[in-house]
Amino acid sequence: MAELRWHPLTKDWVMIASHRQARPQMPKDYCPFCPSFGNVPDYDVLKYDNDFPALSQNPPVPDDVANGFFKTAEAYGKCEVILYSPNHTQTIKELSDSHMKKLVDLWCERFEALRADEKIKYVFIFENRGEVVGVTMPHPHGQIYGYSFIPKKIQLEVESAKEYQEETGNCIFCDMLKNELEFEKRIIFQNEAFTVFLPFFTEYPYGVYIMANSHKQYISEFDEKEKELLGVTIRDVAGMLDSLFGYSFPYMMCMHNAPVNGENPEEYFHFHIEFFPPMRSADKQKFNASSETGVWAHCNPTCPEVTSQELRAAYQRYMASK
């Protein structure tokens, strides 16, 4: 079964993908993403179609369970795996500037390829890292989903940004960055194209943002220098997080581009990346419990002005170790 089901209370689509339960356990000492096993060619970076996708450009007909109240739709879309390196044990912080540029170029290429399908309304580039967030394949990789709908969080961001622009004439993201830069204390590091900071409102102790300094809505709009710096910035954020407590730090990395194939929010949407590291200390996990999950009322058990100091110190340790 693979279909979309409408959630009438939150006005959002839920992906039902029961076939993913049948995903096999990989045999010990086998990795489908290592060229040496013959499943993929030799590569530096590579796009690989997900073997068990939640979304498909040739989706099955939904089950006959809809009625006048409950709605279903085809699980149309695309799920791709982006392989960062052929080296099974290499981490993103170990990749060179030029290798990271190849990765950003591949993200841009795949973003434009999925965007070309007019039935796809949102292209989501992301990475899940670490067993604590459910990763079962340690080979360095991320993913891209192309949805036939705009996910609820992105929809809320777009609506807030549009409302702010209509009220003030400004981009809400540009003004957020301006205010963070003026306050300074939550800024972690910056280069000419991107700023890394711990937001005033962060729900996670170490939930940093990467914000583009220029007002662009899609990753593919950056020039060559900006793409190079984007790769370096992402790598250095990963290295910084690893330096926090001296181990490979788990996180969810979520790239927020503007929606595609619909209303063009060029004036009011702004490319940024949100990190969600599920640890609140070296050995304590931050769980999304009833308040966070049941009513979306988040509670950060740390003070952003304090944890930003920890992050700056971790960034300095990482840079000194390079």
Which residues are known catalytic residues? 141
Compute the distance between CA of residue 169 and CA of residue 164 in angstroms, rounded to an integer.
7
What is the CB-side half-sphere exposure of residue 227 using CA atoms within 13 A? Answer: 19
- Map residue 154 onto helix, strand or coil: helix
CB-CB contact of 44 with 101 (8 Å): no
170-174 contacts, C-beta under 8 A, 24 or more apart = 171/215, 171/267, 171/268, 171/269, 171/270, 172/268, 172/270, 173/211, 173/215, 173/269, 173/270, 173/272, 174/215, 174/270
* Residue whose pair of structure tokens reads 């839920």 in the numeric block: 14
64 contacts: CB under 8 Å, gap ≥ 6: none
Q: Say which residue the tokens 């929809």 belong to.
A: 155
Task: Tell me how many degrees the CA angle 261-50-234 measures, rounded to the nearest 5.
Answer: 70
Give CA–CA dist 161/157, Å, rounded.
6
Reference 322, options 166, 93, 122; nearest CA is 93
Strands, sheet with 272-276, edge to edge from the N-terminal-most edge strand: 46-49, 77-83, 141-147, 122-129, 251-256, 272-276, 209-212, 194-197, 187-190
Give dist(CA 163, CA 165) in Å, integer. Answer: 5
